[in-house]
A = this chain, B = another copy of it.
Amino acid sequence: MNHKNIVERSLISKKGDLKYLGMKNGELYECIITTENPDKTSNAAPIGVLCKDPEHVILYLYDGTHTLENIKRSNFFVVNLTKNSLIFTKTTLSDISEDNFKYYKEYPYIEEADAFFMVKTEKIKDITKNNSLGSANMSIITGKVKNVVKIKEFNQPLNRGIYAVIESLIHYTRMNLADKNTQISYWGRIKEMNRVVQKVGSKEDKLSMKEIITKIKSEYNNLE
């Protein structure tokens, strides 16, 4: 198709190995997933990607999203890594235009990404998830990592774990100056950050949250 740019020769591609991108087993990273729409245009959406092992990722997708429909139809998706917050913002608030995509062997990626990799769907499991707002249908996608490509000087993938720890530490240090109601509010926030860390973080992040929570429980009463 003539609207699809040829990938630049300078791109370095490696066979599926997420260690090459600094991704670690069991951690969940903030990424942008690009897929192909039925009309052959491209779709982009910000989605958490769990690194199962260096060759496999897992996605949890709600029913009714373009990303899920596209993956179920075409059996592939591309995971884009970026540190540019504007790309996350634009893909969340609206659809981005076709100008923002490039193509690597027919697979759409985001031109401004730092790195990306192609994934072939291996397994799709449909589940119903119950939460405080009711129940929702979801699919759990397991995919096999194919080519991994660095575009720019690539640093590391975006993991929220350490930021949740730092935010918890900031709240902890403010607790001793705060009144009881504010302490309870900070404590609620720290428990929320703990949930984030248990979901996305590293071993160090999880151990950090355990130490912070133990410390707070030893210093403050009646926070629950």
Contacts and interface: CB of A to CB of B under 8 A. Distances in A.
Interface in A119-140: 133
A19 to B, nearest CB: 13
Interface stretch (A2-10, A69-77, A79-87): A79-87
Contacts of A166: 30, 46, 85, 88, 158, 160
Contacts of A85: 161-162, 165-166, 201-202, 204-205, 208
Q: Tell me the interface secondary structure of chain A in the complex.
A: helix
A207 interface: yes
Q: Say which size band chain A's interface belongs to.
A: 35 or more
A156 B155 CA distance: 7
A97 interface: no
Contacts of A207: 86, 89
Interface of A: 22, 30, 46, 83-86, 88-90, 92-93, 133, 155-156, 158, 160-163, 165-167, 169, 172-173, 177, 201-202, 204-205, 207-208, 211-212, 215
Given A85-B208, A88-B162, A156-B156, 7 more contacts: A46-B166, A46-B169, A85-B201, A88-B208, A93-B211, A133-B177, A155-B156
